[in-house]
Each structure stands twice: as structure tokens, then as C-alpha cells.
Amino acid sequence: MIPSHRQGETDARSTANAPVRKGRDFVARHGETVFNAAHRLQGTAAHTPLTRAGFAQADELGRALRGSLGVKPALTLWASPTGRALQTLAVICEHLDLDWHDARTDSRLVEIDMGSWGGRYYADVVDLVGPVMLPGGLLKTAPDGETYPEIAARVGGWLADTADDPGDRLVIMHGISSRVMLGVMTGAMVDPLLGAPIAPGLPQGSVTLVAGGRATVPHLGTGFAPA
């Protein structure tokens, strides 16, 4: 398992005003994985490989980015250290003619830690505790898992530590953690039930462009939506 940098029940309001970078951020979800296809909870699983559909989604994302950014764009590359994020980035780098080995990773970009539910089939967890999917495609937190304020604290810490990154950057991460990070980046309202700012859900293979604290969606993927 990859550490999730849990930091206690931090109030997400303290991270909601992330520093606005001068460059643009392209924040993307990885492609579909074997866990997604089998309806298993991935959480912080280190390596759940992409399916053929997942590679196709990464291809579409790479083509879309090449169409808007051109070849060899000046991008700082960041990714979650999970295999599915790095596989997605590898395909994108081929389209952009960039060196995958230049990418930086940070464990604060990983997915929500589902605790003892991680890796289990959704159906099995539902049989034990009832529904785990919340309205809007978010996940209920496991009793020993990570809370949404904790996700906001860790991604907010990464944003603060990298606020001086020059120019544009591409960040490959995950469904729920990216929604929280985009919520922090855009100053979204704090969800009154979950205690963190959360952006709308997007399918796998999607990319959100954040510039000056405002978000647009230049490419909508074809994977599961929104979780």
C-alpha cells in the first residue's frame, strides 16, 4: 500500500484558499483499470493495471493534449506514484513527445485510502455495511479509512509546496482525490456533510484545466463517471 499522508481531522476550510499559480494546471484522471472493470474498491492500491479501454482513454487524452498544446510542450510532469497513473502518463508522453522519466511523483496525489475496504468487491462491502456510493459518485469513508478533510489537507499541502512550479504542468491522479484537489484549487464550497471542497465528478480519461483559480474541461473522457 502507498502511504496516504493522513494528517488528522484537519478543517478543509484551512486549505480552501490554495495559492494561485502563475502557470496553468492540467489535472487528469487515469484510465480504466482491472479493478474498475471488476467493480473493486481500489483506494491506495499500488498497482492495478490499465485495461484495453483504459489505454484507449489515455490515448484519447494524449491526442487531445497534443491538439491543444502541440509537440514537446513546456510542461512540468507530475503523477501519483501508482502504476495506473504512471501508465496513463506514459501513453500521454508518447503523444506529446515528452520524456516520461522526467516526471515527478508524490504520494500526496494518491486516491482516497479506503482502509480495510480497499481491494474488496463493492458488492461484498455493500452486503456488510450497506451502500458505499454517495450521491454524485463519491465514496463513503471506511471506519479505518481516510476522511475528506484529510484528503484536502494532504493535497492542499502538495499545492502549497509546489506553488512556485514554473509555467504549465500536467498532473495525473485519481477520481476522488482529484475532485478534492480541484475543489481546493478553485475555492469550491465546503460540502456540509463531507467537510471538504469538492469539484464535480468527471469520467476516467478526463482532464480539467485550472488557470487563475478557474476550471474548464478541455477533454471529457469515456471511462466510468463520475467515480
Which residues have a Cβ under 8 Å from the Cβ of 207 and sit 6 or more positions away?
26, 27, 28, 29, 61, 64, 65, 217, 218, 219, 221
Indicate whether 16 pLDDT > 70: no
Q: Rounded to the nearest 5 degrees, what angle is found at the Cα of 53, between the Cα atoms of 96 and 80?
A: 55
Q: What are phi and psi of 168, to 5 degrees?
A: -85, 155
Indicate whether 78 pLDDT > 70: yes
Indicate whether 46 pLDDT > 90: no
Cis peptide before 19 (omega within 30 of 0): no
The larger pLDDT score, comparing residue 21 to residue 95, is at: 95
Give residue 41's pLDDT.
94
The string of pLDDT tens digits covering residues 160-197 is: 999 999 899 999 999 999 999 999 999 999 999 999 99
**Cα–Cα distance measured from residue 58 to residue 63, given in angstroms and rounded to the nearest whole number:** 9
Residue 132, amino acid: V
Give residue 226's pLDDT.
73
If you average pLDDT over every residue of the chain, what do you get?
A: 91
Name the grid cell of 227: 467515480
Nearest CA to 106 out of 171, 25, 30, 21 is that of: 171
Cα(first)–Cα(last) distance of the chain, in Å? 21
The string of pLDDT tens digits covering residues 90-133 is: 999 999 999 999 999 999 999 999 999 999 999 999 999 999 99
What are the percentages of helix, strand and coil residues in the chain, rounded to 5?
40, 15, 45
Specify the 3-state DSSP secondary structure of 182. helix
